[in-house]
Structure 1
Amino acid sequence: MKKETDELNEKILESARSEFLAYGYQNASLRRICRAAGLTTGALYKRYESKDSLFTALLEPTLTALDQYGQEQKRRDYAFLEEGHLSDMWAHRLEDLQSLMRILYEHKDIMQLLLFKSQGSSQADFRMRLPHLAADETYRYLELAYKEGKINHLVKHEFLRSCMTAYYTAVFEPLAQDWPQEQALEFCHSIMNLFDWGGLLGF
């Protein structure tokens, strides 16, 4: 029974994926999703209470992958802080950015859906929310480093937010232009040349 339930759920998510990619969140139809998956809307609502909850379930593996990447970066950067080697983080920034780009391309269709076709959903502000969260997390890190005397300059929070927004706009540009992954990875070099984080943050 569990296997049948899992298989049906996979059908629902695959149907939802096709529908949301084709029409975007706002114009997607639960009736079409159900028809393609071979079930009634009533059966769908037993599993997902709304179109938004179905959309969120479809995005969940991608959001989890991004969160795991962020947590790994955070652990490493705080280790550098504890050791007093803050500038060491820049040695791997190109490699880190390319790792992030590979994650984005492993989830390319869903990332494009999330970034450019999620209007009307609870994830509609993701493109703005992510850089703001990254800026807030970075600022907490910088505050701690400043209090511990490991940096002598603290960039203004609003400046950091604006710079982080510009940075993620650049990071997402290959998806906006639908470039192949090889070109996106090459573009990472240009992003690194454009954004001098060491100069901005003072270490």
Structure 2
Amino acid sequence: MASRIEGFDEEILSCAKEEFLEKGYTDASIRTIAQNAGVSTSTIYTRYSDKEGLFRFLVEPVAKGLKELLRQSLSDFSSLTGHEQNEKFMEYSDRGFEAVIAYIYEYFSEFKLLITGAPGNYYQEFLEGLVELDTNCTKKFLIQVGSKALAEGRVTDGFLHVVSSAFYSGIFEVVIHDMPMEEAKNYINELRAFYGNGWKEYYRK
């Protein structure tokens, strides 16, 4: 993806975001976006290739930003010893999800487009990227705390994928339903508690 040009892309992307939010991806008009941004349609096609290219240019930096935020948080936790992970699990989890919620609400409109209106498999690909990070960290955690769940086959790659996918899909319900931020915090904390209690069975040695 090309780098953003200050003062050029901002106006087009602002108009594109408004058009996509109002009409959805399918009904959004490149012509309307161009008119509102004060540029020609050929300028948009030259810069972004097509409507999907424009959409991706709008939401991809935000999607990558959340993935990097999650990657860094999980990497920091994975670098701890097994004993430290047991002792500091909630501390790292609380801090990580506070950052995730803040990031989602900072770019709420972009996430609204990404989750509810992305073309093709774009949202699913985004979700799969988060799930891959999460499941890899979970496997390392189970091994480091001495759990036998993996070795005994009680936890498999397929099981991890389903649980993680359901969890992150649940988190994004706050965007789908336009939850106020404080309500979203409470909801996500309850969601974490629900999944956390289920995982306790597998954390045992």
TM-score, normalisation: structure 1: 0.82
CA displacement at 1:170 relative to structure 2: 2.0
CA displacement at 1:121 relative to structure 2: 4.1
- In the alignment, structure 1 residue 95 sits paired with structure 2 residue 91: no
Runs of 4+ in structure 1 off by over 6 angstroms are none
Q: Distance in 1 between the 2:96 and 2:53 partners?
A: 32
Query: What's the counterpart of residue 153 of structure 1?
Result: 149
Name structure 1 gaps, 5 residues minimum.
Answer: none
CA displacement at 1:128 relative to structure 2: 4.4
Give the AA of the match of 1:153.
A
Query: What's the counterpart of residue 132 of structure 2?
Result: 133
Q: Contact (CA 8 Å) 2:135, 2:164: kept in 1 or not?
A: no
CA displacement at 1:113 relative to structure 2: 0.8
Query: What's the counterpart of residue 37 of structure 1?
Result: 37
TM-score, normalisation: structure 2: 0.82
- Please give the root-mean-square deviation of Cα atoms over the aligned residues, in Å: 2.4
Q: Distance in 1 between the 2:21 and 2:189 partners?
A: 30
Superposition map of 1:159-170 within 5 A? 159-170=159-170
- 32-41 or 121-130: which moved more? 121-130
CA displacement at 1:17 relative to structure 2: 0.8
Name structure 2 gaps, 5 residues minimum.
Answer: none
Q: Over residues 124-176 of structure 1, what are the superposed CA-to-partner deviations in whole Å (9 max), with x where a residue is unaligned?
A: 4246424532454335535xx63x78432212111111111221122112212
CA displacement at 1:188 relative to structure 2: 2.6
Q: Distance in 2 between the 1:49 and 1:37 partners?
A: 17
Q: Distance in 2 between the 1:37 and 1:96 partners?
A: 37
- 163-172 or 88-97: which moved more? 88-97
Superposition map of 1:1-203 within 5 A? 6-81=6-81, 84-92=83-91, 93-118=93-118, 120-121=119-120, 123-126=122-125, 128-138=127-137, 141-142=140-141, 146=143, 150-154=146-150, 155-196=155-196, 198-199=199-200, 201-202=202-203
Q: Contact (CA 8 Å) 2:78, 2:137: kept in 1 or not?
A: no
Q: Contact (CA 8 Å) 1:52, 1:122: kept in 2 or not?
A: no
Q: Contact (CA 8 Å) 1:132, 1:165: kept in 2 or not?
A: yes
Q: Percent identity?
A: 22
CA displacement at 1:186 relative to structure 2: 1.8
Q: Over residues 82-121 of structure 1, what are the superposed CA-to-partner deviations in whole Å (9 max), with x where a residue is unaligned?
A: x653323422223322321111111111111100111x34
- 2:148 alignment partner, SS class: coil
Aligned residues: 194
